[in-house]
Chains A and B, each alone.
Chain A
Amino acid sequence: MVKKFLSLQWRQFSRSAAFQQKLIAKIFIGLIALYFIGVFTLMGIGAFYGIKKVSPDMDPFISVNNVLVYWVLVDLVLRFFMQQLPVLDIKPLLILPIKKRISVNFLLAKGLFSFFNVLPLFFYVPFTIVLLINGYDVSGTLLWFVAMLLITCSTNFVNFLINKNNTYFALILGVLATFVLLAYFRVFDVSPYVGSFLYGIYTTYYYALIPLLLFGLFYYLNYKYLMANFYLDGAISKKVKEVQSTDLSFLNRFGAMAPFLKNDLKMIWRNKRPKQVVFFSLFFVGYGLFFFTNSVYEEQYWIKPFVGMFITGGFLMTFGQNVPSWDSEYYKLMMSQNIKYRTYLESKWLLMVVATAIAMLLSLPYIYFGKEILLIVLGAGLFNMGLNAFVVLLGGVFNKTPIKLNDKAKAFSNTQAFSATMLIIALPKMLLPIIIFYIPYVISGSVNIGVVSLGVAGLLGVIFRNQIFKFIEKMYQKEKYKTIAAYNTKN
C-alpha cells in the first residue's frame, strides 16, 4: 500500500506544473533552491569557526544553541505564510478501500518531505560534522542532531495545526507573543533558558526525551485532528464561512472603473493568495532599513533610488506583477462581457497608484535618515506611479500563468510566473529609476536635481497615459486568445 502511495506521489511530483515549465523557469527555481542550500551549508560549516574567531573564549556550540530559538520562531512564521499543507491531495482516496489510519499517517509523513524540512538539514549536518571534527562528544552531538531534527519536524506539525485550527492558532500566537513581549521589555528572556536546555541535550542525554515527546505530542494532535475530520465536509474541504457583504459604493465616483475597483478589493480581501501577496508588499516598506542603517551604502548614491523603488513599489512588484492573472479564474467572463479592455487596465493602474501613494505615506518616517533619503524615496514613488506601473502592466501581457486565488502559494512554486520575457520586462523597472536619478545627479552634483528628474519622468508618464494605455491595450488584444487558452488549462 505504501508503495502505491509512493508511486502516486512520484507521479504527482514529476508531472506537476512546476516540472513542465519552460527550461528557464526550471533553472531559475533551481538556482534559488541552490542558493538557499548553499547559504545554509556555508552557515553550517562556518558558524562554528566564525563565532570562535569573533569571541574566542565562548563555546560556539553554546552560542548557536542560544540563538536557535529565534530560528525556530522565524521558521514557524515563514512556514505559516509559505508552506503548502498536503491536505487536498488525499481526496480521491476517501472511498477507496484503504484504511483511514494509513492514509492519515501517510499524509502526515508526506508533509515531512517539504523543502522547509529538508533545508535545515543542510545546516545541521555540516554543523554536526564540524562539531565532531572538533572533538565534541560523539554520542552527545549525534543526540543533539537528532533532537534538532525532531524540533524541526515538530515545527512542521505545529504549523499544520495552527493553519487548520483557530484555537491552536490563537493559543500558540498568544504564547509566542507573550515571550516576545517579555523579552522585548526585558522582563524575562526565555532564549538563554531554551539555549541552555538545548545545550543540555548534549551534556545530559535524557533531555532529548523532551523534543521526542513534543514531536510525539504534535504528531498525535495532528493525527487525532485529521482522523476526526477525514470527511469531505471536514478539514479536507475548505471551510464555508458566513459572508458579510461589504458596501463599497463610495468607490462609485470612479465611474466606469468603479465595478472593477470594487471587485479587486473584494478579490484581495476574500482570497488567500492575493491577501498573502498584499501582506508581503507591506514588508517592502521596511526594505530601506537594511540599506540606510548600513554605512557602506552611505556614499553609494546610485543604489538609493533603487531602494526607494522597492520601498514604495511593494504592491507594484507583488500584485501588479501578476496582472491579469488575478482574474484568470473568470477570464472568459471578462473577455466576453461588456467590458472595454482599456477600463479594465485603467482600474488596475489606479489601484497601483493608490497603493504606491499609501506606501509613500508610510515611508515618511524615513526622514529619520535625513531629508535627502526621504526625497529620494518619494521621487522613486512618483516614478513608480507614473512609469513603473505601466511597465508592470506591459509585463502582464506576457503573463500566462493562471492563479488559483484561494490556494496559498507553495514555497518555491511561487515563481511560476517567471519566464524569460518576464525577467526581461522586470529589468527596466529596477534599472530605470537608477539611470534617471544617477545621470542628472552625477552631471549636476545635486541630489535634488536627481529627485526632480525622477518626479518629472513619473509626471510625464501620467500626462501621456492616454497614448501609453492605447499601446498597452493593443498588446493585450493581440495576446488575448493565447492568454484565454493558457488560463483555461488546469494545472
Chain B
Amino acid sequence: MISIQNLSKTYNGTTVLNIDTIEIPKGQSFGLVGNNGAGKTTLFSLLLDLISPSTGVIKSNDITVSESEEWKPFTSAFIDESFLIGYLTAEEYFYFIGELRGCNKADVDALLAQFSDFFHDEILGQKKYLRDMSKGNQKKAGIVASFIGDPKVIILDEPFANLDPTTQIRLKKIIKELSENREVTVLVSSHDLLHVTEVCERIVVLNKGQVVKDLATSEATLKELEAFFAG
C-alpha cells in the first residue's frame, strides 16, 4: 500500500530523516516508535505531503504523494490540533469532514453512533466549540474524524497521548478492529511501548532519523523495545 524509497529530509544541512526503504502492505497495522526528534512526525508529514522530501519518493497505492493529489480521497490523518477547526462544534466538524469526503449527514451520524462509547458523552451535543474543549476531548474528536469517509490509509500521530486510561483502552480496541478486516492500513506513532505492541503487528523504531529496528510483533517485542530504549 505504501512504499518508501531512499527518503530523506534535510534542514539546513542537518539530516532529520533518512530511510532506505519501507514497504507497508495493505491492511497492516504499522507502529512507529522513537524518542523525541527521531523523525516520527517528519515521516508522517512527508506521507501527507505537508513537507517536501529532500530525496526519494513515497508512493501510496502507487501514487507519488508529492506529485499528485490523488492519494487524498483514500487517506486521512490526525497529526495535531491544527487538524481541528476551532470555531466549529464537534458535530459541525464531523459533518464538514463528511462533506469533503462525500458522506452525507446520515452516513456521518451512523459512523458516529459506533463511537458513542469512545466519546463517553463528552463530544456530541456539547454546545461548545472545539477550541473550548479539553485537549483530550479535542483529540477524541480529531481521531474519530479521521475515520470518516471510509479511508484506506489512516495516519495517527501520538493518538494515545492526552487520553484518559478508559479512552486509551477503547482506542486500542478500535484500532485493532480497524485492521482486522485487512482493508485499512493504520499507521500509529507513540511514546508508549506497551500500547504500540498491543495494537500493531509491525513496529519500526526510528532513531535520529534512521530505521534501527523493524519487528514483527510477538511476545518478546515489548522486552526487546524496552531493552533498546533503556540502553
Please list the residues of chain A having a beta carbon within 8 angstroms of any beta carbon in chain B: 238, 240, 242-245, 258-259, 262-263, 266-267, 270-271, 329-333, 335-341, 405-406, 481, 484-485, 487-488
State the CA gap A405–B99 with chains docked (Å). Answer: 23
Confirm or deny: B129 has a beta carbon within 8 angstroms of a beta carbon on chain A.
yes
Give a binary string over B46-87; 1 marks a CB under 8 Å from any A CB, 0 the rest: 001111100000000000000001001101110110111111
Confirm or deny: B89 has a beta carbon within 8 angstroms of a beta carbon on chain A.
yes
Pairwise interchain contact A338-B72, C-beta atoms closer than 8 A: yes
B interface residues, tally (CB under 8 Å): 35
Q: How far is the CB of B183 from chain A (nearest CB, A)?
A: 18
State the CA gap A485–B82 with chains docked (Å). Answer: 12
B127 neighbours in A (Cβ, 8 Å):
242-245
Confirm or deny: B175 has a beta carbon within 8 angstroms of a beta carbon on chain A.
no
Picked from B51, B89, B101, the residue with its CB within 8 Å of the CB of A245 is B89
Pairwise interchain contact A243-B73, C-beta atoms closer than 8 A: no
What are 28 A-to-B residue pairs whose CB atoms are below 8 Å? Answer: A242-B128, A243-B89, A243-B127, A244-B127, A245-B89, A245-B91, A258-B99, A259-B96, A259-B100, A266-B88, A270-B129, A329-B86, A330-B85, A330-B86, A332-B79, A333-B82, A333-B83, A333-B84, A336-B75, A336-B77, A337-B72, A337-B76, A337-B101, A338-B73, A339-B72, A406-B87, A485-B51, A488-B82
Pairwise interchain contact B92-A240, C-beta atoms closer than 8 A: no
Pairwise interchain contact B50-A336, C-beta atoms closer than 8 A: yes
Pairwise interchain contact A484-B51, C-beta atoms closer than 8 A: yes
Known: A243-B129, A336-B50, A336-B72. A330 touches B99 (CB 8 A): no
B50 neighbours in A (Cβ, 8 Å):
332, 335-336, 481, 484
Pairwise interchain contact A267-B87, C-beta atoms closer than 8 A: yes
Q: How far is the CB of B91 from chain A (nearest CB, A)?
A: 7
Picked from B76, B82, B102, B149, the residue with its CB within 8 Å of the CB of A329 is B82
The A-contacting residues of B in range 22-65, CB under 8 angstroms, are 48-52
Known: A245-B92, A266-B92, A488-B82. A336 touches B48 (CB 8 A): yes
Shortest Cβ distance from B80 into A: residue: A332
Closest 9 CB pairs of A and B: A259-B99, A270-B87, A336-B48, A333-B83, A240-B132, A243-B127, A332-B82, A338-B72, A481-B52
B91 neighbours in A (Cβ, 8 Å):
245
B132 neighbours in A (Cβ, 8 Å):
238, 240
Known: A243-B129, A336-B50. A266 touches B101 (CB 8 A): no
Confirm or deny: B131 has a beta carbon within 8 angstroms of a beta carbon on chain A.
yes
A259 neighbours in B (Cβ, 8 Å):
96, 99-100
State the CA gap A288–B131 with chains docked (Å). Answer: 40
Pairwise interchain contact A481-B51, C-beta atoms closer than 8 A: yes
A238 neighbours in B (Cβ, 8 Å):
132
Confirm or deny: B2 has a beta carbon within 8 angstroms of a beta carbon on chain A.
no
A244 neighbours in B (Cβ, 8 Å):
127
Shortest Cβ distance from A337 into B: residue: B100
A258 neighbours in B (Cβ, 8 Å):
99
Q: How far is the CB of B57 from chain A (nearest CB, A)?
A: 16
Shortest Cβ distance from A248 into B: residue: B92
State the CA gap A488–B11 with chains docked (Å). Answer: 15
A240 neighbours in B (Cβ, 8 Å):
128, 132
A331 neighbours in B (Cβ, 8 Å):
82
A337 neighbours in B (Cβ, 8 Å):
72, 76, 97, 100-101
Most B C-beta atoms less than 10 A away, residue of A244, A271, A329: A329
Shortest Cβ distance from B97 into A: residue: A337
Q: How far is the CB of B88 from chain A (nearest CB, A)?
A: 7
Q: How far is the CB of A473 from chain B (nearest CB, A)?
A: 11
Q: How far is the CB of A162 from chain B (nearest CB, A)?
A: 23
B80 neighbours in A (Cβ, 8 Å):
332
State the CA gap A238–B131 with chains docked (Å). Answer: 10
Pairwise interchain contact B85-A333, C-beta atoms closer than 8 A: yes
A338 neighbours in B (Cβ, 8 Å):
72-73, 100-102, 149
A481 neighbours in B (Cβ, 8 Å):
50-52
A335 neighbours in B (Cβ, 8 Å):
48-50
State the CA gap A336–B50 with chains docked (Å). Answer: 7
Shortest Cβ distance from B91 into A: residue: A245
Q: How far is the CB of A488 from chain B (nearest CB, A)?
A: 7
Q: How far is the CB of B83 from chain A (nearest CB, A)?
A: 4
A270 neighbours in B (Cβ, 8 Å):
87, 129
State the CA gap A38–B186 with chains docked (Å). Answer: 62
Pairwise interchain contact B86-A263, C-beta atoms closer than 8 A: no
Q: How far is the CB of A348 from chain B (nearest CB, A)?
A: 16
- Extra contacts besides A336-B76, A337-B100, A339-B100 (19): CB < 8 Å: A238-B132, A243-B127, A245-B91, A245-B92, A245-B127, A259-B100, A262-B96, A263-B85, A270-B129, A271-B87, A333-B82, A333-B83, A335-B49, A336-B83, A338-B101, A338-B149, A341-B69, A481-B52, A485-B51
State the CA gap A341–B68 with chains docked (Å). Answer: 12
B100 neighbours in A (Cβ, 8 Å):
259, 337-339
B89 neighbours in A (Cβ, 8 Å):
243, 245
State the CA gap A335–B46 with chains docked (Å). Answer: 12
Pairwise interchain contact B87-A405, C-beta atoms closer than 8 A: yes
Shortest Cβ distance from B101 into A: residue: A338
Most A C-beta atoms less than 10 A away, residue of B83, B92, B100: B100
B99 neighbours in A (Cβ, 8 Å):
258-259
